[in-house]
Amino acid sequence: MTNIKILGSGCANCQTTFKLIEAVLAEHNHRASLEKVEDFKDIMRYGVMSTPAVVIDEVVVHSGSVPRREAISAWLVASSPGPCCTPGDSVSSSGCCRDGNTSCG
């Protein structure tokens, strides 16, 4: 399951980012854990200097503004296992199986 964190102080842009990602997750029927991180010490651990920031599976993918809906959709696709994978397969960051299997047959 994808782990998504919204880093920020709870400002309007942080709240908008959270709600937007929540909506895109629902549109894509994508299961993910979605969490707000508002403690500045925790935010600083990610090296983020401008919020809101979005972290997917412990990788900062965006910071400094509300992300575009299209960007969020692309992140979700990239964080999902490809159709070639079955439960237990090792998945690379590109979404393809590490064993080289790229087909569903």
Q: Any idea where the domains of the chain sit in the sequence? A: 2-79
Distance CA 5, CA 39 (A): 12
Q: Does 2-79 carry CATH code 3.40.250.10?
A: no
**pLDDT tens per residue across span 28-85:** 999 999 999 999 999 999 999 999 999 999 999 999 999 999 999 999 888 876 555 5
pTM of model > 0.85: no
Residue identified by tokens 């880093």 is 7
**pLDDT tens per residue across span 71-99:** 999 998 888 765 555 555 554 444 445 55
